[in-house]
Chain A
Amino acid sequence: MKQKKNLAFFSSSVFKRIFSIILFFIFAVILYNYVNKVFLLKDRMEASNFFVNEPKNSINVLFLGSSHVLCGINPLIIWNEQQITSYSLATNAQMPYASLMLARLSQDFQKPKLIVLDVYMFLREVNFDASEWNHKALDPFPLTLKKAVSIIHTERIQNKMEFLFPLVKYHSRLMKEELSNQDFLYPFINTTSLLKEYTYFDSIYEFKFLQNLNQIIEKKPILSENEKTLLEMIQWAKDNHIPLLLTAIPYQTSLTDYQQINYIASIAEQNKVPFLELNTRVGEIGIHSTTDFKDNGHLNVFGAEKISSWFGRYLASNYELNSSRANDTVQNWNDAYTYYDNIHHLKEINELSDFLNRIDNPHYISVLTGGDGDYDLLPRKAIEKLQDFGFIGNKKDHSTCFIGIIDQGKAVIEKPSRIVEVNYPFNVYLNEYFYVQNSTTTTIPIQIKLNHEIVATYQHGLNILVYDKEKGLILDNVTFDPQTGLKTVK
């Protein structure tokens, strides 16, 4: 009898109503989640969009902080030298409270064995709350109870609704006609950051460091609100048994800044948290103010390599961070390093075979063009590599030119005959394509267009244009001239 009563409840209108309400909410939440992701800003690499897509618990060290970390710490160098997986969950002008929130939110995705926090933004009193940087840092994280509580509890966040539901902020993107196909595809693509959010700059800026930093012993208090957040961060790390390492990545520091860094050092000491102040160690690391910065605040690729290498050694010798990893994880990180290495070093390669080996990369599209007969003048090694890509070779059918395109390491187009033009749509969703217009006379050069825009013109020789699909950048544009012994013309 009792059982019948129980069953009756499930077929009752109340149950049906409750069930349909729950189902409705699930459906609405799924739809909201999709729409929200579509509208998020994705145009900047500094956003933490890709962090949430990293394989779970695959990161050992998490770097937090502002653009100083983005430009100064290269997780791939640390990986290559120390086999430690790390991630730069830094964002431009990352406010202290955002760092704390990111540390909390990251726990749903990774269980890092160490969190490294750059303290630069703890010295600042600038209010970046209204800027979009904090949105870029926090919005990609799904709305969980933890995130909601953090947002509600954070006094500095005034427009809580916008942080809880970023669609409130970004819905106008549709009216501004900012949405692209990429935005609509984004919720379905779990892309990870190949550079682990490291931001690459190779320009050089010269300045002078503040001298005798070691002699500055005065302390200047930081903003009380920032101090409170720092203490909260330390307490949170202790409560969660996650070692915390404070650091200050080198930059052109001022006297006031350094006095405040001293103040933070004293807080770290009182709370028994290690603090790596790197401005005083630039000599030891080998950082030069004349070669290693892109501006007075940020390291360039040369400085980042030195800092990262030093940091890697420090981590390896002070923390137990190496652990056994699945082969595919190791392979992914190695591939990522190769990818970085190419970005940094491809332009330095002058030997054709080496160059061809380097462009054998799934993230690249290489457009090869050559003048009449140039193909046959190539060295055997290079021709073999071209054949490895899948090129058959010039049939000498009275062609004036050679056009070939390599995508994902395979020849996808080879046009050795009298072809006037070639179109290669490599991303139909985003309407991205290469268009090559052949040279019909010696006076009219070969032209390469990338989405309408002319990106290269050539007269003769074997020309290779390397395009990085991930970064949307032309990595190199080089001519190997067989008439001059395959000397490179960049």
Chain B
Amino acid sequence: MLYTSQNFFLFFPIVCLFYYIIPKKIRWFWILFISYFFYFSWNQKLPLLLLFSTIITYIGGIGIQYLKKRDKKPRKFGQKIILFFCISINIGILFFFKYLDFFFLNLNKILNRIHFIQIENPFSFILPLGISFYTFKVISYLMDNYREKIDAEKNLFKYAAYVAFFPTIISGPIDRAISTIPQITDPKKFGFENVKHGLWLMLWGYFQKFVIADRLALMVNEVFNNQDLYTHSGVIGMIASIFYSFQIYCDFSGYSDIAIGAAQVLGFTVSDNFRRPYFAKSIVDFWKRWHISLTTWFRDYLYIPLGGNRVSKIRHLRNIMIVFIVSGLWHGAGWNFIFWGFLHGIYQIIENLLTPVFHKKLHNIKTYGTFGFKLAQTLFTFFLVNFAWIFFRSESLEHAFTFIRGIFRFNPSLLFNANLFTFGMDRTNFEITIFSLIILFVVNWLQRDQTSLRVKIDHQPLWFRWVLIIGCIFFILIYGIYGPSYEVNKFIYSGF
């Protein structure tokens, strides 16, 4: 069951209704039950894997806790063994399900080079939904426990409810035990504001997904999936790549808003995942705004353990590169993903090296800090991010390079004739796309002062709020890309 499936629209109101009807003491059990039901509805066998990860890390957590409290001096060695064991098992499972094919593919390439017999992958499984996300969740739990930020959760079922928490299990945000488990244990009362704001956020999420992301996919899929037809795509390739930048943003931000909104309706506070990323003025700034829960995860559990920036310059830059390559690999088992991570690593390193130089030089420029200057920074950052997305979207590294070569075909006339509307998106859809992107821009712009837009809307007169909500609902219903007339587009990040 995905957030866009019809069953979810029946499932979610029932979940909420019962959640607030039943006594507070047993609400965590309801969360556990419906979270497993939610996961079970997608596949009947794989919840066992989730359960296995949960039990292993639960026992690991208890073990670490036990060792912490047994002696006055914590036995770090024993804890490390447990931590290593539990993380290895979970990473092993992730590797087994997500990267084994990729491993054998590359192994065979090497074997082929040295004229050895190729080995077939004896295991081939479907990728369990949300495995990358819940694996990171359980690792963060163990690490926080090990670092004594939290105590181990003694109640297995409450812990299982945290791991399987249905709003975030498919694609995050990767919520931390430190904030979520207390909310499961001690649920909030029914709050009208929470429910209202949660529903608004869900509505905005659906708008981003159905109206923008899936409409952009019409052209993006046409161009990227038919590489043979678009080897000399030129301006069409450029538009498709820009559209993809917005598609992936609206798709994932839409998903995150639905997830955070759904959690908020139930009274949970889940951390933000996006903060207007395309308004970023540098790559470092971009990564503070994009997929925040993953970025902070890597910061806390990979970058800092590697030494962070409190090491020599070379090691610091190495740490950045490791984090981004691992991040690329986390997104998908393919060289294009690794290269995407590598590219962002390079961006970061260059920025890191050049920033002090530029700061000295640029401060002396008259136009420094003006609107035009900031706009140039934003557009340049967008250009770099957009370029990297081509590798992310392409089926392979080779495909990506072919696509990039195709972009250099000079055919700007296509922009000014009706041929533009023959690449998967007709004129009407194109116009709606542009209109929707303007709405997206306006909404993002209104969020520039970090205040919740929902709070701002709250201060508007009733008629305005009604028109806004009803307008949004009907805009989605009428202009949304859903239903039997369209191909269903899953959330992009649900594939990771």
Chain A interface (Cβ < 8 Å from any Cβ of B): 17, 20, 24, 27-28, 31-32, 35, 159-162, 167-169, 171-172, 174-177
Contact = CB atoms under 8 A, between A and B. Distances in A.
B192 interface: yes
6 contacts: A27-B470, A31-B474, A161-B6, A169-B484, A172-B483, A177-B428
Given A28-B470, A31-B474, A177-B428, A161 B9 contact: yes
Given A161-B9, A177-B428, A172 B470 contact: no
B216 to A, nearest CB: 15
A35 B477 CA distance: 10
A174 B473 contact: no
Contact of A167 (B426, B428, B470, B477): B477
Contact of A159 (B480, B484, B485): B484
Chain A contact residues: over half helix, strand or loop, or mixed? Answer: helix
Given A17-B192, A20-B462, A172 B6 contact: no
A35 B466 contact: no
A27 B486 contact: no
A129 to B, nearest CB: 12
Nearest to A13: B192
A175 B429 contact: yes
Nearest to B215: A175
A27 B473 CA distance: 13
A378 B426 CA distance: 58
Nearest to B192: A17
B204 to A, nearest CB: 17
Contacts of A35: 474, 477-478
Contacts of B478: 35, 167, 171, 174
Contacts of A177: 428
Nearest to B482: A168
Nearest to B486: A172
Contacts of A176: 485
Top 8 A-B residue pairs of the complex, sorted by shortest distance between their CB atoms = A172-B485, A161-B6, A168-B483, A171-B478, A169-B483, A167-B477, A175-B428, A169-B484
Interface in B386-444: 426, 428-429
B459 to A, nearest CB: 16
B471 to A, nearest CB: 10
Contacts of A171: 477-480, 482-483
Nearest to A168: B483
Contacts of A167: 477-478
A428 B479 CA distance: 28
Nearest to B7: A161
A306 to B, nearest CB: 41
A195 B197 CA distance: 52
A159 B483 CA distance: 10
Contacts of B469: 24
Nearest to A161: B6
Interface in B458-496: 462, 466, 469-470, 473-474, 477-480, 482-486
A24 to B, nearest CB: 6
A487 B6 CA distance: 65
B6 A159 contact: yes
B9 A162 contact: no
Given A171-B477, A174-B478, A162 B429 contact: no
A106 to B, nearest CB: 27
A188 to B, nearest CB: 19
Interface of B: 6, 9, 192, 426, 428-429, 462, 466, 469-470, 473-474, 477-480, 482-486
A12 to B, nearest CB: 13
Given A24-B466, A27-B470, 6 more contacts: A28-B470, A28-B473, A35-B474, A162-B483, A162-B484, A171-B478
B158 to A, nearest CB: 33
A161 B466 CA distance: 25
Nearest to A23: B466
Nearest to B432: A175
Nearest to B6: A161
Contacts of A168: 6, 482-483
B462 to A, nearest CB: 7
Contacts of B480: 171
Contacts of B485: 169, 172, 176
B470 A31 contact: yes
A465 to B, nearest CB: 37
Contacts of A159: 6, 484
A221 B332 CA distance: 54
B73 to A, nearest CB: 56
A43 to B, nearest CB: 16
A217 to B, nearest CB: 45
A172 B478 CA distance: 7
Contacts of A174: 478-479
A162 B483 CA distance: 8
A31 to B, nearest CB: 6
Contacts of A160: 6
Contacts of B428: 175, 177
Nearest to A130: B484
Contacts of B6: 159-161, 168
A436 to B, nearest CB: 36
B478 to A, nearest CB: 5
A53 B378 CA distance: 59
A193 B336 CA distance: 62
Contacts of A175: 426, 428-429, 479
A450 B485 CA distance: 33
Q: Which of A24, A28, A35, A172 has the most CB of B within 10 A?
A: A172
Contacts of B486: 172
A327 B200 CA distance: 55
Nearest to A16: B462
A346 to B, nearest CB: 41
Contacts of B483: 162, 168-169, 171-172
Contacts of A172: 483, 485-486
Nearest to B469: A24
A177 B462 CA distance: 34
Contacts of B462: 20
Nearest to B9: A161
A352 to B, nearest CB: 52
Contacts of A162: 483-484
Q: Which of B428, B462, B479, B483 has the most CB of A within 10 A?
A: B483
Given A168-B483, A171-B480, A177-B428, A27 B466 contact: yes
A160 B8 CA distance: 13
A22 B9 CA distance: 20
Contacts of B479: 171, 174-175
A178 to B, nearest CB: 11
Contacts of B470: 27-28, 31
Q: Which of A159, A162, A171, A176 has the most CB of B within 10 A?
A: A171
A32 B469 CA distance: 13
A251 B285 CA distance: 75
A31 B471 CA distance: 11
B30 to A, nearest CB: 23
B330 to A, nearest CB: 34
Contacts of A17: 192
A486 B281 CA distance: 88
Contacts of B426: 175
Nearest to A171: B478
Nearest to A28: B470
